[in-house]
Amino acid sequence: MRYWLMKSEPDEAGIDHLASAPHRTLPWTGVRNYQARNFMRDAMQPGDGVLFYHSSCPEPGIAGLAEVSSTAYPDPTQFDPESPYYDPKSSREEPRWLLVDVVFNKKVPLIALATLRAHPELAEMRVLAKGNRLSITPVTDAEWRFITGHLV
């Protein structure tokens, strides 16, 4: 089992959207970074833990816990000319972009970025690294245990 921090904008697909979605599951659409895509393609497996992180909002932070519930498959938004995630260079025969499904586990009181930074146990977390813009980052076993055992 692995652990991940997955960022989403709360007005587009926040923890409340996930909690109220059919089967409490959402496809993680719109990833357009090769490293994040590769995490989904090469490393994510059903059952992996997810720190559901709200980004690009007044107070970013961990808003809930979720779980990867599928293996990677083609993101349909890459084929839709009406989608902001449309990629004219991608084809159904050779899709460039993938997604995984994520299922809701629990909403938590927001764990703000400042709170994460305040704990030396989390000093190496990728989300805290200067310049980190990845929407999906690995979380170590120790980071997961600290967050779920002390902050959630």
Query: pLDDT tens across 37-57, in order?
Result: 999 999 999 999 999 999 999
Reduced DSSP (H G I as helix, E B as strand, rest coil) percent helix, strand, coil of the chain, to 5: 30, 30, 40
| Averaged pLDDT for residues 47-71 | 97
> In the chain, where are the structural domains located?
3-133
101-136 pLDDT per residue, tens: 999 999 999 999 999 999 999 999 999 998 888 999
Only one residue has tokens 């980004």, namely: 55
Average pLDDT over residues 87-113: 97
Say how far apart CA 127 and CA 87 lie, in whole Å. 27
Q: State the pLDDT at residue 132.
A: 84
> Whose structure tokens read 């159904």?
92
CA angle 114, 45, 42 (to 5 degrees): 90
Q: What is the rounded distance in angstroms from the CA atom of residue 106 to the CA atom of residue 104?
A: 6
What are the backbone dihedrals phi and psi of residue 78, each rounded to the nearest 5 degrees, phi first? Answer: -65, -20
The whole-number pLDDT of residue 6 equals 98
- The CATH code belonging to domain 3-133 is 3.10.590.10
Asked whether the predicted pLDDT for residue 22 surpasses 90, the reply is yes
What pLDDT is attached to residue 152? 87
Q: Kindly report the length of the chain.
A: 152
